[in-house]
Amino acid sequence: ESQDCFTNWKGIDKSMLPRSFNKTLFPLLKHSPQHTLMFRTPINTNIVPEPYPKEYHDCWDHNHVKMPCSKHNSLIDKDNNCRKRRWDIINNALTRPITSSEELEKAILLYNLKYKERWRFHLLHSFFNECLSEEETDSFFNNLLPKIIELALKLPKLITSPIPLLKQNSSHSISFTQMQIACLLANAFLCTFPHRNVSTLHSEYSSYPQINFHELFQLRVLSSSHNCLFEKLKCIICYFKKVTTDDSDLSGIVTYSRRYLPDNMLPFWLKSNKQLTNLYITSAGTIEDDGDGMFQIDFANKFIGGGVLGHGCVQEEIRFLICPELLVSQLFSQQMLATEAIVITGVQRFSNYSGYADSFEWDGVHVDITPVDNNNRRHCTVVAIDAIYYRDPKVQFTPKSLKRELNKGYAGFSWGQNTDCSNVAIATGNWGCGAFQGDCHLKSLLQFLSAAQANRDVAYFTFGDTTLKESIHDMHTFLKNQNLTVGEICKILIKYNMYFLTHPNVGLYEYIYNAVINNDAQKCHSEEKSTQ
Ligand code: AR6
């Protein structure tokens, strides 16, 4: 254990933490009932793998994504009293010249007729009118948009196999080429996905996140605090620019997995004899910059992506904006339940950023040099787990809440156990403690317990907070030196919930220190007695 008073980290040296480099990432790239591969294998690095199967296979049911190019995706043409294929209308609408955001809005409404009177793309209009220069706007409509459209219209050639929905209470993975992902995102940008425009209580996809971009496009920039919305568009444009350049390499593979832990796979927390694992803790750096080769935690919403296509602009949304391939998870991931996580393996980062929330700004192109594994996936594993939002902060200390968060953490952290990656460290931080108002002291401890249960070390980023770094480090060291087990620590947490009811001013850490020390004193006392 080393500590360096000249730097801003404590605990074990970061270089001691196991990473995924030189290992084969999980899950393996093999077709199986648990894993759908959207391309032909074996793959040949540097050549974009061919879609599998060769010809488009149509499917329109409750277990698969309803595709814009399906023959079942139709509209009633009232004038001619017949049904028309929506994909034909999309093709017609998008192959006509589009030279302004107004024309783009009109084109998109031609195949979203229901919304003709309802959608106005305020954000798009003000972005091109107020935010970009005239040259930049011209360049978008003359160069980039035609390429985005061309990419989108390749859909039936690029995505030939039906995409399974990653539904609740099941574990499944889907792998795509980066080319296929770009095509899906081009379609999302152009709002072509059917049945995905409303999210009322009983609508078909109400338990899925948004995928079409219409809601983002409709936001209004009412004050400078909304300027981050422009920055979102810059990130998206940066992505499309990169993936539509001729020399861009889209041969990489990305795997989207849903992990569900049934009851019989959940730990018995109070009985666990596991010891805390190693901790590296720093107030500098971020999960995405400094968690390279680790399992990088996404502080998620149960609807993955959270408010990325709306007003949201905190950890999860920013991650999705700088790595837009993550957005594709929103196409098929049903909202997460308590013992579920979503893991995305192999995404590339396209943008840099500065600021956070209202002050978030796109900060230019990011050149991602993360190495790939032997399946051409980047050594970047993003693990999405959603904390609970505590309107009343007291609730987080109840046994029920503790168990929920422990299980949720464990669902994510136990990904890839008994594989090459079984000891890869977790890169995390103040999960659930920003927008979701959790307590950093409690949540860090809960994550240490889940990580211990999953036999993984932790790199913890306090995001600039040096006091928090010190206090979490001290507590971790204290508990570790006391050789307390996961079960014993859980018991102390449960007792705190009772104590706290009558002593609301006693903080969690103060209570833990006292409880452990008094318990020791008691133990000594009784040992003394027994030796007398
Ligand atoms: N690296 C390390 N730590 C970070 C980073 C980063 N890149 N960014 C932020 N933090 P928050 P939540 C720290 O509020 O409370 C979204 O809308 C920083 O201290 O994003 O779990 C989701 O979609 C910040 O205060 O996570 C959910 O709806 C803290 O992490 C909801 O927010 C928490 O970040 C989740 O809220």
ipTM for the assembly? 1.00
CA distances from 525 to 374, 400, 463, 514, 517 (A): 59, 34, 43, 16, 12
Ligand 1, atom 13, lies closest to the CA of 430
Percent with pLDDT over 70 in the chain: 97
Ligand 1: residues with CB < 6 A are 286-288, 299-301, 306-307, 312, 314-317, 387, 429-436, 461, 463
Q: How confident is the model at residue 69 (pLDDT cuts 50, 70, 90)?
A: very high
Report the residue among 232, 281, 282, 299 best suited for mutation to probe ligand 1: largest number of ligand atoms under 8 A from its CB.
299
Question: Does 474 participate in catalysis according to the annotation?
Answer: no
What is the rounded CA–CA span in Å between residue 296 and residue 207?
A: 25
Q: How far apart are CA 298 and CA 347, in angstroms?
A: 13
Residue 463 CA to ligand 1 centre (angstroms): 10
Assess whether 298 carries a catalytic annotation: yes
- Residues 318, 288 contacting (CB under 8 angstroms): no
Tokens, residue 38:
């959207």
What is residue 523's predicted lDDT score, i.e. its pLDDT? Answer: 72
Question: Which residue is closest in CA terms to ligand 1's atom 6?
Answer: 286
Nearest CA owner, ligand 1 atom 2: 286
Question: Which residues sit opposite 354 in a β-bridge?
Answer: 361
* Cα of 20 from ligand 1 centre, angstroms: 24
Q: How far is the CA of 386 from the centre of ligand 1 (A)?
A: 10
Q: According to the model, what pLDDT value does residue 201 have?
A: 74
- State phi, psi for 426 to the nearest 5 degrees: -95, 130
Structure confidence at residue 530 (pLDDT):
63
**What is the model's pLDDT at position 75?**
87
Q: For 170-226, where are the E strands, in sequence order?
A: 172-177
Instruction: Give the DSSP letter string of 196-239.
Output: -S---TTSTTTTS---STHHHHH----SGGGHHHHHHHHHHHHH
For residue 527, what pLDDT is reported? 64
Q: Which residues of 330-369 are buried (b: 16+ CB within 10 A; e: fewer)?
A: bbbbbebeebbbbbbbbbbbbbbbeebeeebbbeeebeee
Protein residue closest via CA to atom 1 of ligand 1: 286
9: tokens are 């980290």
pLDDT above 80 (res 3)? no
Ligand 1 pocket check: which of 430, 440, 442, 461 to mutate, most ligand atoms within 8 Å of Cβ?
430
- Give the pLDDT confidence score for residue 79 in this predicted structure: 82
What is the H or E stretch that residue 500 is in? helix 486-502
Indicate which residue of 231, 316, 405, 439 is catalytic: 316
- pLDDT for the residue 446: 98
Catalytic residue among 231, 292, 317, 373: 317
In this predicted model, what pLDDT tens digit does every residue of 200-211 receive, in sequence order?
A: 778 899 999 999
Mean pLDDT of the residues in the chain = 95
The per-residue pLDDT for range 405-449, each reduced to its tens digit, is 999 999 999 999 999 999 999 999 999 999 999 999 999 999 999
> Which of these, 429, 469, 431, lies nearest to 282 by C-alpha position?
469
| pLDDT exceeds 80 at position 528 | no
Rounded to the nearest 10 degrees, what angle do helices 466-481 and 508-531 cross at? 20
Inter-residue contact 377 to 253 (CB < 8 Å) = yes
| pLDDT computed for residue 77 by the predictor | 79
Q: What is the pLDDT of residue 6?
A: 58
Q: How far is C-alpha 43 from the chain's CA centre? A: 26
Catalytic residue, from 105, 288, 292, 298: name it: 298
d(CA 314, ligand 1 centre) in Å: 5
Residue 7's pLDDT is 72
User: Which of 508, 460, 458, 428 shows the shortest CA–CA distance to 18?
Assistant: 458
Report CA(69)–ligand 1 centroid distance (Å).
37
Residues in the chain: 532
Query: In the predicted model, is pLDDT for residue 5 greater than 60?
Result: no
Residue with the smallest CA separation from ligand 1 atom 14 is 434
How close is the Cα of 132 to the center of ligand 1, in Å? Answer: 29
For residue 173, is pLDDT > 70?
A: yes
Four-residue CA torsion sign, 397, 287, 285, 317: negative
Q: Whose CA is nearest to atom 28 of ligand 1?
A: 301
Output the CA–CA distances (angstroms, integers) from residue 227 to 297, 309, 473, in the order listed. Answer: 27, 14, 37
Residues 293-304 pLDDT 10s: 999 999 999 999
DSSP 51: B
Cα separation of 487 and 493, whole Å? 10
- Cα 318 to ligand 1 centre (Å): 9
Instruction: Give the number of the atom of ligand 1 that is nearest the alpha carbon of residue 287.
Output: 1
Q: Give every CB contact of residue 190 below 8 A, 6+ residues apart in sequence.
A: 90, 94, 108, 148, 149, 152, 213
247 is catalytic: no
- Which of 315, 327, 356 has most ligand 1 atoms within 8 Å of its beta carbon, as the pocket-test mutant? 315
CA angle 245, 136, 149 (to 5 degrees): 45
Dist. CA 481–CA 521, nearest whole Å:
16
Question: What pLDDT is recorded for position 519?
Answer: 84
Sign, CA dihedral 476-480-482-486, equals: positive
Q: Give residue for tokens 């568009």.
A: 233
Distance (angstroms) between ligand 1 centre and the Cα of 280 equals: 19
Centre of ligand 1 from the C-alpha of residue 398, in Å: 22
Report which of residues 46 and 88 the model is more confident about.
88
Atom of ligand 1 nearest to the CA of 465: 19
- Distance, in Å, from the CA atom of 499 to the CA atom of 496, rounded to the nearest integer, reads 5
104 pLDDT exceeds 70?
yes
Give residue 529's pLDDT band: very low, low, confident or very high (50, 70, 90): low
How confident is the model at residue 18, as a pLDDT? 98
Longest CA–CA span in the chain (Å) reads 101
What would the mean pLDDT of 101-105 be, rounded to a whole number?
Answer: 98
Which residue's CA is the nearest one to ligand 1's atom 32?
Answer: 435
